[in-house]
Amino acid sequence: MKNIQELPRVQLGVFPTPFYRLERISETYGKNIWIKRDDMCGVALGGNKVRKLEFLLAEALEQGCDTVFTTGGAQSNHAMLTAACAARLGMRCILLLKRRGVTDHRGNLVLDDIFGAEVRMLDTDSYDDIYAEMHRMGEALERDGRKCCYIPVGGSTALGSLGYAAAVREFAVQALAAGVRIGHIVSATGSGGTTAGLLLGAKRFLPGVKVTGIAVDTDPFDEIVPRLAEEAAGLLEWPFRREKNDFEMVSHVGPGYAVPNPEDTPYIEELARREGILLDPVYTGKAFAGMMELLRQGYFGDDDNLVFVHTGGAGALFAMDLPR
């Protein structure tokens, strides 16, 4: 068995991120709700992709890459954070984005430009088409002497997922210092890598703690997440055994991926007005609203001390209004 610290990693974020109890929300709901502030990880507007990129870009640097390709929707947080991290490492960043969602020059598209990324919008709804185009462009660049790496949507590879296994180790230490026993971890699931890493990390560093992913898209995450977690475990030669009640997916996609749901707006406002924390309507707003609805339904039982992993996403607030 290897330690995560043995793997190549490039420092991009400012870690550890804050971990603390949401005092007013916990009081209102009669439950101890803790938050892991990965929206405050020190790159751009923060977000979960930075922990993945610390591993993914370390591998790219080891391979001698000087150009990074990735993809996502027009308002992709992952694409924007890849642009920010590539800039920091002096790498060229090319974003092939789906012309889907808000495509005007707002929100993350503005930030992509500020970070100096080259953005191309593609008229397709298939990532396979996009990866084919990426490789075509990359091969042409390599003929000119560049070396390219290709990061899939969301950075959700086994290697990327390890960022969130490492995050569990980080907040397990913070929880110990605060004298809390964590009962349950909740986070948004968009491409699966974050939840996979949380599941693997919980098994290793917080055995017995359940991970619930709140799906904000319609992919078959019940299969995707454990498979990615198992592959990630393989990279470290860790055992990976499913146990009863270790993991569950709950859908809170509402009207569709990246379509804000009016029912989430009161929850987004509640966290802002009681705790001074911003959620976005695409990922964290849906995840937080989904968690609070589960809480109301008694889903968490006697598990004390929920941890909500804040995965970032604030850029979307500058691209779309909150519906009512």
Ligand X SMILES: *Cc1c(COP(=O)(O)O)cnc(C)c1O
Which residues of this protein are in contact with ligand X, per CB under 6 A? 47-48, 77-78, 154, 156, 188-195, 283-284, 311-313
Catalytic residue among 76, 161, 187, 191: 76
Which CB sits closer to ligand X, 138 or 155? 155
Q: Which of 304, 308, 38, 301 is nearest to 186 (CA)?
A: 308
Residue 86: both structure tokens together: 């590539």
Residue whose CB is nearest to ligand X in the complex, by number:
313
**CB 33 to ligand X: min, Å:** 18
**CB 27 to ligand X: min, Å:** 26
**CB 132 to ligand X: min, Å:** 22
HSE, CB side, 13 Å, CA atoms: give it for residue 173. 9
Q: Any catalytic annotation for residue 76?
A: yes
**CB 270 to ligand X: min, Å:** 18
Residue 19: both structure tokens together: 């971990």
Which CB sits closer to ligand X, 107 or 312? 312
Which CB sits closer to ligand X, 70 or 195? 195
Q: Which residues lie across from 99 on neighbouring strands?
A: none
Q: Is residue 122 packed enough to be buried (19+ CB in 10 Å), middle (13-18) or exposed (0-12)?
A: middle
Cα 8–Cα 310–Cα 1 angle in degrees, nearest 5? 35
**CB 146 to ligand X: min, Å:** 27
**CB 207 to ligand X: min, Å:** 22
Is the separation of the CB atoms in 276 and 12 below 8 Å?
no
Which CB sits closer to ligand X, 78 or 204? 78
Residue 274: count of CB within 10 angstroms of its CB: 14
Is the separation of the CB atoms in 116 and 83 below 8 Å?
yes
Which CB sits closer to ligand X, 25 or 309? 309
Separation between Cα atoms, residue 258 and residue 281, nearest integer Å: 8
Which CB sits closer to ligand X, 137 or 187? 187
Separation between Cα atoms, residue 251 and residue 221, nearest integer Å: 10
The DSSP output letter for 305 is -
Separation between Cα atoms, residue 1 and residue 319, nearest integer Å: 44
**CB 265 to ligand X: min, Å:** 17
The DSSP output letter for 42 is S
Separation between Cα atoms, residue 245 and residue 211, nearest integer Å: 9
Residue 129: count of CB within 10 angstroms of its CB: 14
Q: Which residues lie across from 20 on neighbouring strands?
A: 35
Which CB sits closer to ligand X, 137 or 307? 307
Q: Which residues lie across from 35 on neighbouring strands?
A: 20, 308
Cis ω for the linkage preceding 16 (within 30 of 0)? yes
Residues identified as active-site: 76
